[in-house]
Structure formats: structure tokens, C-alpha cells
Amino acid sequence: MEAKAVQAIVERAATAWMTGDAAAFASLFTADGECIVPGNRWVGQKAIAAALAEFAAGHTNVKISVRQIVADGDHAVVEWSWEDTETATGKRTVADDAIAVDFVRGQIRRWREYIDAQTPSRANGSN
């Protein structure tokens, strides 16, 4: 894939998370695509959409800032910063995130996140 196409998909993914658009995020994946975050793995568009919908139901004020994208053919690594607020408690989460992404025919086959929620919190003076 060309770097511009990778960037467009990453931007659409970020927008989907920020707006809670589960269908939009899931549509970026192949039918058997997988999304992996620490402690969870979802396979298939339906499961991926359900995971984002569940997250969106309990969180607000999601902000994502893409720092860099390194693309190499059908593979990319994304670095972005993430913030959200848990609706029930008002707890604010700040994290840095590195994401390894594999593409097949212009769709995401595998999305693997490595999340650091400790270092950004310390940098912002939060616990």
C-alpha cells in the first residue's frame, strides 16, 4: 500500500474511535481481521464493532493525536497519544500507543496495540 493510503486509514480509525463510530472502525478491517489490545483480542468485523461500541458506551471525550506513521508496503507502525474519560467515574486516562498494522487489499488484517498508560500519566503529573 502507498503511504497516503495507510495514512488515510489510520486517520479514519482515529476519527472512528473519537466519535464512537463502531461500524466505521470495523469496516476498515477484513472480514476475518483481528484487533488486539493488552488483555483482549477480537476477530471479525462484528466482534470489533461490538468492542468499540462497548467502549464508547462507557467513555467520552476521546482525543487521539497521531504522532507518526511508518509504512512499509502492507505493514505500518503508528504512534499516537490517547485520552479518554470514563463516564461512570470521571476518571481521565492518558496513554501513548504504538500500533502494528498489517493490511490486505487495502483493509486491516491485524491491528496490534502496545499501550503505555504509565509514562504519559507521570509526565502530566497525574496518578
Q: Band the pLDDT of 23: cuts 50, 70, 90.
A: very high
Order of all β-strands in the sheet with 92-104: 40-43, 29-37, 107-116, 92-104, 75-86, 59-72
Check if the beta carbon of residue 120 is closer than 8 Å to that of residue 81: yes
Mean pLDDT of 13-32: 98
For 106-122, what is each residue's pLDDT tens digit? Answer: 999 999 999 998 887 55
Architecture of domain 3-123: Roll (3.10)
pLDDT at site 119: 86
| Residue 91: other Cβ atoms inside 10 A | 11
pLDDT at site 127: 46
Cα dist. 30→33, 90, 109 in Å? Answer: 5, 35, 6
Cα angle 6, 3, 98; round to 5: 55
Mean pLDDT of 94-101: 96
pTM of the model: 0.91
* Distance linking the first and last C-alpha atoms of the chain: 40
